[in-house]
Amino acid sequence: MRVLRRAPVHLVLWLVGAAWLAPVVGLLVSSLRPAPDVAASGWWTVLRHPAFTLANYRDVLTAQGLGVGFLNSMAIAAPATAIPLLIAAYAAYAFAWMAFPGRGALFALMVMLLAVPLQTTLVPVLRLLTAAGLTGTFPALWLAHTGYGLPLAVFLLRNFIGGLPPDVLDSAAIDGAGAAQTFFRVVLPLSRPAVASLAIFQFLWVWNDLLVALSYLGGRPSVAPLTVTIAGLVSSLGSGWHLLTAAAFVSMALPLAVFFSLQPYFVRGLVAGAVKD
């Protein structure tokens, strides 16, 4: 009975899973096929005529600067994730639990800044970075990604922190904890699921960013992230695009590992925190 009643749930989830996986599987299969085959027949035909090659992966993995690009991407993405999240959490805490004049207006401004198109900021920001002598360095990207990532982080964290049970915070205050103690001992641990999900998104955006890196880093191969190295695999006439299929999986590996290692936090975070009290 129970299994039968649950059947539609399973069916929907399996259909969603298939619809979401099919394009990725297509990409994966294509990345393992010889380039001429990809343009000649559908990827599903490999079931009947299997013809695989690792040449695409070999070309990507031996591409000049790939190793350096990988390290650079990590060096850019890790601080550019940690810094904005912590700063956003401070601001979110203030927006959620402190009364001050102009709170609504300031928060509205944050929401509005979400909509600033990145492209319009490139020139003014590059001018500032040039004046500060930061172009072509990692700090330029750390600072810029912090600025760009803050509005969404503040917005989502304020919603989460604002939804924490007031009595938990009150009891901390009654115990004589100051604002700093309440934040670091109670608010931040309770916000783990939200911080973890935001962390993975911020990390992904920075990891996959090409435009900001191209604009602020200039052409120095020594600081180029993975996205720049991978873009260089394709010629100006589009030949070599098949390498992008293999490159996509190479560049996905680390973010997915981060996601799956953080996933328990989405699940356990709040529950564990509540139980501890």
Partner 1 sequence: MGTLLLAAIALAGAPAASVVYIVAAELALGRLAVRPRRALRPWVWLAPALAFVAVFLVYPTLDTVVLSVRDATGAAWIGLANYAFALGSRDALIALRNTVIWLVLFTGLVVGGGLGIAALAERVRYDAAVRGIVFLPMALSFTAAGVIWKFVYEFRPAGAPQIGLLNAVLGAAVPGFEPRAWLVGPPWNTLLLIAAGVWTWVGFATVVFAAALKAVPAEIAEAARVDGAGEWRVFRQITLPLLGPTTGAVATAMVITALKVFDVVYVMTSGNFDTDVLATRMYHALFVDQHLGRAAALAVILLAATVPVMAVNLRRLRREAAAR
Partner 2 sequence: MARQRRTAIVFVAAAMLLAAGGGDSSAAGKLGGTVSVLGTWGGSELDSFNAMVKPFEDRTGAHVEFQGTRDLTAVLQTRIQGGNPPDVAALPNPGALPLLARSHALKPLGRVLDMTQLARQYPSTWLDIGRVGGEPYAIVVKAALKGLVWYDPQTLAAEHVTLPPTWAGMLALTDRLAGRGTSAWCLGLGSGATSGWPATDWIDMLLLRAAGPAAHDAWVRHKIGWDAAPVRQAWEQFGRIAANPKDVYGGPPAVLATDFGDAPFPMFTKPPRCLFHLQATFIEAIIQKQFSWIRPGIDLAFVPMPRIAPQYAGVAQIAGDVFGMFHDTPQARALMRYLVSAEAQAIWVKRGGALSPNKGVPLDAYPDVLSRRAAELLVRAPAARFGAGDMMPPEMTAAFYKGTLDYVAHPDQLRAILARLEAVARDAYK
Binding site for partner 2 (CB under 8 A): 35-36, 39, 122-123, 125-127, 129-131, 135, 211, 214-215, 218-221, 228, 231-240, 243
Within residues 131-160, the interface with partner 1 by CB under 8 A covers: 138-139, 142-144, 146-148, 150-152, 154-156, 159
Q: x/- site string to partner 1, residues 215 to 244, per CB under 8 A?
A: ------------x--xx---------x--x
Our CB check for partner 2 shows the closer of 189 and 240 to be 240
Question: Of 53, 54, 86, 239, which one interacts with partner 1 (CB under 8 A)?
Answer: 86
Output the CA angle 46-52-54, nearest 5 degrees: 150
Our CB check for partner 1 shows the closer of 186 and 245 to be 245
Question: Of 33, 43, 66, 134, which one interacts with partner 1 (CB under 8 A)?
Answer: 43
Residue 26, CA atoms < 13 Å, CB-side half-sphere = 11
Least separation in angstroms between CB 128 and partner 2: 9
List the single partner that 236 binds among partner 1, partner 2, none, CB under 5 to 8 Å by kind: partner 2
Our CB check for partner 2 shows the closer of 190 and 223 to be 223
List the single partner that 266 binds among partner 1, partner 2, none, CB under 5 to 8 Å by kind: partner 1
List the single partner that 130 binds among partner 2, partner 1, none, CB under 5 to 8 Å by kind: partner 2
Query: CA–CA separation, 58 vs 23, rounded Å?
Result: 23
Q: x/- site string to partner 1, residues 196 to 215, per CB under 8 A?
A: xx--xx--x---x-x-----
Q: Is 71 in the site for partner 1 (CB under 8 A)?
A: yes
